[in-house]
Amino acid sequence: MPRLPTDRLTRKNKGAPFKAPLVVSGKSGNALHVHALEARAARLGLYKGQPLANARAMVQPLSILPADEKADAALLEAIADWCDRFTPLVSLDPPDGLLLDITGAAHLFGGESAMLVHVTGLIAKQGFVIRSAIAGTSLAAHALARFAPAIVPAGCEAAAVAPLPITALDCDDKILRALRHAGLKTVGTVAERLHSELSERLGKSFVTRLKVMLGAEEQPLTPRRALPDLMAERHFAESVVTRDAIAAALLGLAQSFSEILEREGRGARILESVFFRADGKVDRIAIKTGEPLRDPKIIMRLLNQKLETLADPLDPGFGFDLVRLEALLAEETKPGTISFDHDENARRQIAFLIDRLSVRFGEHRVQRFMPQDTHIPEAAGAAVPAQDRDLAPENWTLKRRPGDPPRRPLRLLQKPEEVSAMASVPDGPPMRFRWRQCLHEVVRAEGPERIAMDWWRRSVGESRSDHQKSAGLTRDYFRVETSNGQRLWLYRDGLYRDLGQNTRWYLQGLFA
Amino acid sequence: MNNTAKIAELRHILARYGLPPDRAPVALGHAQADAVLGGGLRPGSLHEVFAQEWSGGGFAAALAVRMTGAKPLFWVRPDYEALEYGAVSPNGFLELGGDPRQLIQVRARKPDDALSAAADILGCPHVGALLLELGGMPKCLDLVASRRLAFAANESGVTVILLREGANVEPSAALTRWQVASAPSRADDDDWGNPVFDASLVRHRAGGLGHFLMQWNPEHAVFKTHPGAVVAAPAHRPAYPQEQRRAI
């Protein structure tokens, strides 16, 4: 789309062309130049990269608007989203191009040329100037689209790109200058040179580039998003709006999905449903499961739950014309779909419950706990998404001796809260303290349990006090019982030896 | 096995077929409390714990550990409760006699979410117990919501411990209601002992009430009678004023 910036502005102007020829100005250093221009402006002799002052002198009047590369990039992304309906493999070719890998997709649209006409027609209808080409490799297509739009049959890339100027190679200025010095003006003449000769002078990457361009080597596209392991889609001749119709379509997709998954002995772990709106907007709704999944009923239940709890509900607008279900991650399942084993059944039911809750509230809100190899209280137990099956449950080790009362509080405050405390001896437990505006008398206290921050993680050269500043001070923990029987966990931050009277007290946890 | 015995056994199975499973009460370990409760706390029902100050979490967690057995225990709470009362710490849960591997925490944004998560959890009979923590007096927790909880618990056999913090007693469908405060762990000595709760059973649909001093033994995950009772439990009069007991 050679005129993407101006097309964007014209579209924004409700499709009405500007009164005067439109030029988009860009800034390089301190000089303004022509960043993009309309066909009308180009016909008047203006060109890309021209100093803006020159352009102004040549043509009066001229509509000049500043370039907005971010908006252009966003627009390109949006168009790429829309193009997802043709093939899952769409990649950006910035600043103004898109590459679609249509391998195996063209026949769905009646062959390559029909597909090209179809796609470009739809984009052109939206008010974009578009130039397009189909070729065996991405670089060849890239060059042809810009210099000589064509559909090149497989294996004929070399002949097709031969007459193109060397600028089509899209190399940096140094290489172009070198080629010009050597008297090479077209891609064809460059290709005739010995490759060893070229790599000697211009570097190996240039030769690879050339080979790709000539179709002698493949260069895979970088897809914008992960390719699904499996996908099923349904086109609608007339776009659907109602919930029921959408649900029916999804159910149909889920059913065909489950047949394929069943045959392959796999189940989906991450599912994404993609809704293509007739006006080009694309909504994606993903669900993650802990267990590989293929039962269409369960898939539907999870999807429905997700759809119901969306912060901004799915807006069909003028309707969806394509609904697709993708399995972004499919995994092998153990054979034997029905288990009579009670434990196995229970485990699966719990996993499904966790999936449902995770879909509803977000996976980080449904958690289980993993022990951590640290003695810092707030870090000793990490909450991880309960869906995460990859973490095997580990054993926890008890801090108390058998028969002793608990040594760790049941609840930890999210942040230790500072209390004003009085201790009888500088190193001893507090006698009374004030927390949340209440005065608590300490009747019983146990401690101190001294917990040092990770001093062994101190980096080389860092002094002890510097490390304490970043990692925290050594804490002396006391378990105290107040006069009314409340059991709390307090610590003195820093040692009396180091800080004297400046130590502070914090309350971190509540025992039962 | 001869045929007669076999037929008798099959008859026995057939007779019980389709009936809701007989849910035997789970003894708490505290003799007096178990006697009042008729053998122990009934699974598959709703039990409310009204906490005074910050001690109710321990009592509710102890009940839940007792009731969940080897099955998963879900702890559901809105975000605000964690700010105010602290979030459950797996290490502390372990020290209290629970198994952190059984524990699944659901952090809800607000009380409504917590209630709807609870409804989902109660639909799954393979869950052991649900500890639902709600602070204050959320509007969504009305009599209807509490009836729903009780009904769902009954259907699936999952025990619900509803922990209310900073709340006034209001009518509910709970089978039992407890008012809990911490009590000093030992009467005489300066040592730190196992947690002791001053627990009053202020409502019980299927039996009497009582006021107990219960000590939790983390080692065996049971309640014990407190060795040196600090305050005598009033046996001849109710522990709480009469009107509080009249709630439905």
Q: Quick one: pLDDT at residue A460?
A: 65
Q: Under an 8 A CB cutoff, do A357 and B106 touch?
A: yes
Task: Residue A284: name the closest of A314, A256, A304 by CA.
Answer: A314
- A-facing residues of B in 72-131 (CB < 8 A) are 72, 82-83, 85-96, 99-101, 103-109, 113, 116-117, 120-121, 123-127
Tell me: pLDDT of A501 over 80: no
Tell me: pLDDT of A371 over 50: yes
In a domain, A205, yes or no: yes
> What does the pLDDT average to over A391-416?
84
In a domain, A309, yes or no: yes
Query: Does ipTM top 0.90?
Result: no
CA–CA separation, B202 vs B236, rounded Å? 15
In a domain, B89, yes or no: yes
Q: Which residue has the higher pLDDT, A424 or B172?
A: B172
Query: How many domains does chain A fold into?
Result: 4
Q: A466 pLDDT band (50/70/90 cuts)?
A: low
Q: What is the mean pLDDT of chain B?
A: 83
Strand partners, A91: A99
Two tokens, residue A385: 């998404």
Two tokens, residue A476: 């002396």
Q: Which domain holds residue B137?
A: 29-240
In a domain, B7, yes or no: no
In a domain, B53, yes or no: yes
Q: Give the residue on B whose Cα is nearest the Cα of A358.
A: B106
Q: What is the mean pLDDT of chain A?
A: 82
> What does the pLDDT average to over A151-167?
81
Q: Quick one: pLDDT at residue A159?
A: 80
In a domain, A356, yes or no: no
- State pLDDT tens for residues A260-277: 888 887 888 888 888 888
- CATH at residue B115: 3.40.50.300
In a domain, B188, yes or no: yes
Task: Residue B63: name the closest of B147, B165, B148, B177 by CA.
Answer: B177
In a domain, A357, yes or no: no
CA–CA separation, A502 vs A142, rounded Å? 69
- State pLDDT tens for residues B211-243: 998 989 888 889 988 765 544 444 444 444 444
Question: Are residues A418 and A499 part of one domain?
Answer: yes
Which range among A12-16, A333-337, B145-149 has the greatest average pLDDT?
A: B145-149
Q: Which residues of A272-285 are buried (b: 16+ CB within 10 A; e: fewer)?
A: bbbbbbbebbbbee
In a domain, B5, yes or no: no
Q: Quick one: pLDDT at residue A293?
A: 80
Tell me: pLDDT of B189 over 50: yes
Q: B244 pLDDT band (50/70/90 cuts)?
A: very low
Residue partners of B44: CB distance under 8 A and separation at least 6:
B23, B153, B154, B156, B157, B158, B159
Q: Under an 8 A CB cutoff, do A512 and B57 touch?
A: yes
Domain end residue (candidates: A67, A84, A108): A67
Task: Residue A85: name the closest of A276, A218, A230 by CA.
Answer: A276
- CATH at residue A62: 3.40.1170.60
- State pLDDT tens for residues A222-250: 777 777 778 888 888 888 888 788 888 88
Q: Under an 8 A CB cutoff, do A485 and B182 touch?
A: yes
In a domain, A263, yes or no: yes
Q: Which domain holds residue A17?
A: 4-67
Q: Quick one: pLDDT at residue A158?
A: 80
CA A276 to chain centre: 19
Question: Are residues A335 and A432 part of one domain?
Answer: no
Task: Residue B158: name the closest of A512, A309, A349, A385 by CA.
Answer: A349
CA–CA separation, A439 vs B74, rounded Å? 34
Q: A258 pLDDT band (50/70/90 cuts)?
A: confident
Q: Quick one: pLDDT at residue B228?
A: 54
Q: Quick one: pLDDT at residue A458?
A: 65
Mean pLDDT lowest among A113-127, A152-166, A290-304, A326-340: A326-340
> What does the pLDDT average to over A86-92?
83
Best interface-test mutation with B: which of A366, A410, A438, A451 has the largest number of B CBs within 10 A?
Answer: A410
In a domain, B3, yes or no: no
Q: Quick one: pLDDT at residue B164?
A: 92
Distance from CA of B185 to the nearest CA of A (A): 7
- Facing A411 at nearest CB: one of B71, B85, B195: B85
Q: Which residue has the higher pLDDT, A288 or B233?
A: A288
In a domain, A256, yes or no: yes
Domain end residue (candidates: A340, A367, A396): A340
